[in-house]
Amino acid sequence: MAALYQTINIQNSWQKNLAVLISHIRLRTFPRVLVDFLAGYCHFDTSLIVTYKKSFKPIIVHPIDPSEQSNTLRSFINNGYYLLDPLFNAIQSGVGSGVIRVKDYTPDSFESSEFYLNCYQYFGIVDEIVFIIKLDHKVTCAISLGRKAALGSITRNELRSLQDIYPVVEALFRQFWLAHSAEYIQYEQSDDTVKQALKSFGSGVLTQRENEITHLLLKGYSSKAIADKLNISVGTVKVHRKNIHAKLNTSTQSEIFTLFLDHLKKLPADL
């Protein structure tokens, strides 16, 4: 009998929490209430809700309050580090809707990548679980739940619980976005500058293949992974790397990324 009462209480609690979430769909408070709702299904230390549209600069949906946004998050958005984010690149490549782990999309040398060394490690996250929601054919929402060392990796049961609740979260967030998207889109910045930066970096200096290898190196791909991806030998990749440094007058990946960021900042914002 006690077990029955416990089951009824859990069900009632779930229903009440869902009712609260539904009541906030047309309010700006919905993202925060959604994060509180998800805390009932998975333990996490950090949360972030972002929308991505092509290579536009990501728009933060939660947390909105600048006082809740860390310097690392601001650097991630404003300094262009998102361009090297495995999640951003997975979305760019058309990752499907659902619940994913960022670990499953990181390149083989992720922890030696410029993104990890200069940005991601400062989030202090050891595992990151993300709800991928396709809002339309151009816009994708990513609800990221981060776990630090004390919590460790997500458990199988927690991941299953998030997968079970995904259809509800997807449907409710879509309704929220229909009501509020215009408020966020007004902050949208053209992605033409980013496209131009990626296309023109090293123009006249690097060959198309060298530029391609440079981007993969910065994302955290090892020479072997690059060779496999481009179907060339590791020796050829190493030759290209040597030529890249010689042409750019650099000796490290960090110096190359600094050059890219400088290049991005110099381009007109209204290209």
The domain spans of the chain are 20-185, 192-266
pLDDT class for 90, splitting at 50, 70, 90?
A: very high
- Which pair of structure tokens corresponds to residue 58? 């990501």
pLDDT class for 2, splitting at 50, 70, 90?
A: very low
What is the CB-side half-sphere exposure of residue 212 using CA atoms within 13 A? 10
Mean pLDDT computed over every residue of the chain: 86
Asked whether residue 123 carries a pLDDT value surpassing 80, the answer given is yes
Contacts of 179 (CB under 8 A, 6+ apart): 25, 26
Fold of 192-266: Arc Repressor Mutant, subunit A (1.10.10)
SS3 label, residue 170? helix
For residue 187, what pLDDT is reported?
A: 56
Residue percentage of the chain with pLDDT more than 90: 52
Residue percentage of the chain with pLDDT more than 70: 90
For residue 5, what pLDDT is reported?
A: 41
**What is the four-CA torsion angle of 9, 12, 14, 15, rounded to 10 degrees?**
180
For residue 183, what pLDDT is reported?
A: 83
pLDDT class for 193, splitting at 50, 70, 90?
A: low
Section 80-85 average pLDDT? 86
CA gap 221, 108 in Å, rounded: 6
- Which pair of structure tokens corresponds to residue 84? 């090297």
Q: Which of 10, 37, 1 is nearest to 176 (CA)?
A: 37
- Which pair of structure tokens corresponds to residue 51? 């929308």
pLDDT class for 195, splitting at 50, 70, 90?
A: low
CA gap 266, 271 in Å, rounded: 11
Asked whether residue 156 carries a pLDDT value surpassing 60, the answer given is yes
CA gap 84, 171 in Å, rounded: 29
CA gap 11, 162 in Å, rounded: 16
Section 185-199 average pLDDT? 64
**What is the four-CA torsion angle of 145, 128, 257, 62, rounded to 10 degrees?**
-10
Q: 98-101 and 59-62 as β-strands: parallel, antiparallel, unpaired?
A: unpaired
Asked whether residue 159 carries a pLDDT value surpassing 80, the answer given is yes
SS3 label, residue 28? coil
Beta bridge partners of 204: none
pTM above 0.95, yes or no: no
CATH superfamily of the domain spanning 20-185: Transcription factor LuxR-like, autoinducer-binding domain (3.30.450.80)
pLDDT class for 7, splitting at 50, 70, 90?
A: very low
Section 153-179 average pLDDT? 95
Section 157-184 average pLDDT? 93
Biggest alpha carbon distance in the chain? 77
Task: Name, of 3-12, 158-167, 190-199, the range with top average pLDDT.
Answer: 158-167
Section 168-182 average pLDDT? 94
Task: Name, of 53-57, 82-86, 193-197, the range with top average pLDDT.
Answer: 82-86
- Which pair of structure tokens corresponds to residue 266? 């110099």
For residue 95, what pLDDT is reported?
A: 92
Q: Is there a shared CATH topology between the 20-185 domain and the 192-266 domain?
A: no
Asked whether residue 198 carries a pLDDT value surpassing 90, the answer given is no
Section 29-34 average pLDDT? 95
For residue 11, what pLDDT is reported?
A: 46
